[in-house]
A and B are shown apart, each in its own frame.
Chain A
Amino acid sequence: NAGVMQNPRHLVRRRGQEARLRCSPMKGHSHVYWYRQLPEEGLKFMVYLQKENIIDESGMPKERFSAEFPKEGPSILRIQQVVRGDSAAYFCASSLSGSGNEQYFGPGTRLTVT
């Protein structure tokens, strides 16, 4: 059973471009979480999604960031008009159901904005 897959593993974007990060949860998991790790800091919760629903986006920046988890296909974290401060590692996790279940993490996508 494959684990949580994230791609790309490394992404370089120029300021002003868009970044799309993909996360495929573990088979059978319908709950997805995104976390961001800024340099020298711990992972910070961004958003919690179920299929076609955003459950909690309290950790998402108000502008330029959006996330979706469609009925078919991976979850997408989208960052529009990237700035240097968006450079970070973005981790996705999935779980079988909601709270009370272990989150399984992907290897992360390292975004560099030049």
Chain B
Amino acid sequence: AQSVTQPDIHITVSEGASLELRCNYSYGATPYLFWYVQSPGQGLQLLLKYFSGDTLVQGIKGFEAEFKRSQSSFNLRKPSVHWSDAAEYFCAVDTLHNDYKLSFGAGTTVTVRA
């Protein structure tokens, strides 16, 4: 069965340090890939998405993600985190390429310490 795995349930990072969130998917073909962020009390906001082409994708808020076909991964990175980046992050895939039926990972909660 298709699945999306976010191995880290919770990550704590110091303000100004770099951040990398892992995402692996299990699917025969390359799906469409997404990263969403959810701040407390808010809805999910799309950070970036990958459909095809350049495997390094730039998103909003200084985030980027790299698609690695050989590792079935789509890891999210930010060079220098800000306190406002504390949130829950969800990786999602669209395996049918119809762009509405998204499958999500369980999420990674990021805590930023001063």
Residues of A within 8 A of B (CB): 3-4, 31, 33, 35, 37, 40-45, 48, 56, 58-59, 91, 93, 95, 98-108
Query: In the bound complex, do residue A107 and residue B41 qualify as a contact, i.e. CB atoms below 8 Å apart?
Result: yes
Residues of B within 8 A of A (CB): 4, 6, 36, 38, 41-46, 90, 92, 98-107
Please give the distance in Å from A107's CB to the nearest CB on chain B.
5
- A40 with B100, Cβ < 8 A, contacts A105-B45, A108-B43 known: no
Query: In the bound complex, do residue B105 and residue A48 qualify as a contact, i.e. CB atoms below 8 Å apart?
Result: no
Query: In the bound complex, do residue A43 and residue B90 qualify as a contact, i.e. CB atoms below 8 Å apart?
Result: yes
Report the bound CA distance from A101 to B90 in whole Å: 18
Q: 10 new A-B pairs (CB below 8 Å) besides A3-B43, A35-B102?
A: A31-B100, A44-B103, A48-B101, A93-B43, A95-B100, A102-B46, A105-B38, A105-B45, A106-B43, A107-B42
Hey, which chain B residues are within 8 Å of A105, CB to CB? 36, 38, 43-45
Query: In the bound complex, do residue B102 and residue A43 qualify as a contact, i.e. CB atoms below 8 Å apart?
Result: yes
Query: In the bound complex, do residue A44 and residue B106 qualify as a contact, i.e. CB atoms below 8 Å apart?
Result: no
Task: Name B100's contact: one of A41, A43, A48 (CB within 8 Å).
Answer: A48
Report the bound CA distance from A53 to B43 in whole Å: 24
- A104 with B43, Cβ < 8 A, contacts A42-B4, A42-B90 known: yes
